[in-house]
Amino acid sequence: MTDAFHVPNRILMGPGPSDVAPRVLAAMAQPTIGHMDPAFMALMADISAQLRTVFRTKNEMTMAMSGTGSAGMETLFANLVEPGDKVLVCVKGVFGTRMVDVAERCRAEVHRIDRPWGQVFPVEEILAAADRVKPKMVAIVHAETSTGAHQPLEGLGAALRERGALLLVDGVTSLGGAPVEIDAWQIDAAYSGTQKCLSCPPGLAPVTLGPRAVARLEARKSKVQSWYLDLSMIRKYWGSDRLYHHTAPVNMLYGLHEALRIVLEEGLDARWARHLAMHKRLRAGLEAMGLKYVSQEGHHLPMLNAIGVPAGIEDAAGRKRLLEEYGIEIGAGLGDFKGKAWRIGIMGQGADARHVELILAALRSMLAKG
């Protein structure tokens, strides 16, 4: 017989999941009720409204998909792309690369532009490519979790709107930790995950679609290739029709509701300021030890700090020591940064002085011992 699973004592400072508040865990442990229960329908309406506030949007089609952040990515490509559509993807890390793969599987005609890992795109560079390609949609990652780079988005949406292209944004790591201004920045569609700056366990993907994206969806000539992620049906479950589509992950939604309550109790401005303040504190400490960011100067993400692996420390062995001696999880480098970078997350509940001082102390001790 398999033994019961007892969770080891961890402090989550990787690229997500982040530490989850006890209130959220307690909410998830409430008894399961039916996915068509009137009380559950009211909960879903609450979550839509909470997500609108967090996404800074009036978009009616705002909800949580029943999968993790990558399911959010796939949802938007599968619903907004028809075979042969030109899509411009801006690639500067793992998640931009993943967008290319997902868009190709949706049979888009994919055009990609690339920046070296760790860097961001100047808006003009994206617009020049858009003028050349004339895409129906431009897709870009706001917070590239694999590199720690913070992509500026201001001005991009308005300029693409003039060009008739939709703007699709990956806000997985930024939502709740830095401004994501769906309406003000004229972002047509965005997705996120719950396990980063919202500090909810992984398993849901918040998405929001504006009027131009909804019009694209409604004008489709072909069925969405994914039944599970087909928004034309899911909107009838989350919307006032309340038509059964699939069985929602009920307890996960209890957790998201409570996590969003915590976000909104704090307030978005205060939450963004907290992430930034903790980032500055962490950065000062890291740089005092001689550790260097691998992301572009002036474009570091507050919640995801990607630094070079300290000289004299072996990547995997160093992370193992942090996990075993301190219970601290940090993230390994991916792709171009594999073996070369460490990713230190201070997300949601984890963006506080305790987390920051602990990782700094652990790193100082490790560097001193060598």
The letter for the amino acid at 367 is: L
> For its own copies, which is the closer residue by CB, 261 or 321?
261
- Please report whether residue 340 would count as binding its own copies according to CB under 8 A: no
Stretch binding its own copies (CB under 8 A), from 135-143, 273-281, 297-305, 328-336: 328-336
- We find the least distance from the C-beta atom of residue 237 to its own copies, in angstroms, to be 12
Q: Which of 32, 232, 240, 365 binds its own copies (CB under 8 A)?
A: 32
Cβ contacts of residue 203 below 8 Å, gap of 6+?
A: 67, 68, 194, 195, 249, 252
Q: Does 28 bind its own copies (CB under 8 A)?
A: yes
Minimum CB distance to its own copies, residue 127 (Å): 28
Distance of CA 239 to the CA centre of its chain: 24
Which amino acid is residue 207, in one-letter code? V
User: Which region among 158-166, 209-217, 251-259, 350-358 touches its own copies (by CB under 8 A)?
Assistant: 251-259
Looking at beta carbons only, is 70 or 119 nearer to its own copies?
70
Pairing of strands 328-329, 11-12: parallel
Both tokens of 96, joined, read 């931009």
Two tokens, residue 162? 């003039």
- Taking the complex as a whole, the smallest distance from the CB of residue 162 to its own copies amounts, in Å, to 31
Residues in the chain: 370
Q: List binders of its own copies among 61-90 (CB under 8 A).
A: 66-71, 73-74
Least separation in angstroms between residue 252's CB and its own copies is 6
Closest among 12, 45, 359 to 199, alpha carbons compared: 12
Kindly list the distances between the CA atom of residue 57 and the CA atoms of 146, 152, 189, 191, 210, in Å, as whole numbers in the listed order.
27, 19, 11, 13, 8
Q: Binding pattern to its own copies, positions 150-189, x when CB under 8 A?
A: ----------------------------------------
CB atoms within 10 A of CB 237: 18
Rounded to a whole number of angstroms, the minimum distance from the CB of residue 220 to its own copies is: 13
> Which amino acid does the sequence have at 137?
M
CA dist., res. 369 & res. 364, Å (int): 9
Name which of 39 and 219 has its Cβ closer to its own copies.
Answer: 39
- Tracing tokens 């398999």 back to the chain, one arrives at 2
> From CA 159, how far away is CA 139, in angstroms rounded?
14
Angle between helices 69-80 and 94-105 (to 10 degrees): 40
- Angle of helix 211-218 relative to helix 231-238, nearest 10 degrees? 120
Residue closer to its own copies, measured from CB, 99 or 286: 99
Q: Which stretch binds its own copies (CB under 8 A): 4-12, 118-126, 133-141, 306-314?
A: 4-12
Q: Extract the tokens encoding 134.
A: 């004339």
- Applying CB under 8 A, the span of 95-103, 113-121, 174-182, 291-299 interacting with its own copies comes to 95-103
Query: Among residues 131, 184, 211, 227, which is the contact residue for its own copies, using CB under 8 A?
Result: 227
Residues 117-156 close enough to bind its own copies by CB under 8 A: none
| One residue of 252, 259, 347, 351 binding its own copies per CB under 8 A | 252
Minimum separation from the CB atom of position 339 to its own copies (A): 14
Binding of residue 316 to its own copies (CB under 8 A): no
Number of residues that bind its own copies (CB under 8 A): 80
Rule CB under 8 A: say whether 2 interacts with its own copies.
yes
50 sits near its own copies (criterion: CB under 8 A): yes
Judged by CB under 8 A, which stretch of 12-20, 131-139, 147-155, 178-186 contacts its own copies?
Answer: 12-20
Q: Which of helix, strand or coil describes residue 280?
A: helix
Should residue 19 be labelled a site residue for its own copies when binding is judged by CB under 8 A?
yes
Q: For residue 112, state whether it binds its own copies (rule: CB under 8 A).
A: no
Q: SS3 of 153, please? A: coil
Burial of 358: CB neighbours in 10 Å, binned 0-12, 13-18, 19+: middle
Which residues does 34 contact at the CB level (< 8 Å), separation at least 6? 40, 250
Q: Which of 92, 150, 235, 257 binds its own copies (CB under 8 A)?
A: 257
Question: Does residue 255 belong to the site contacting its own copies (CB under 8 A)?
Answer: yes
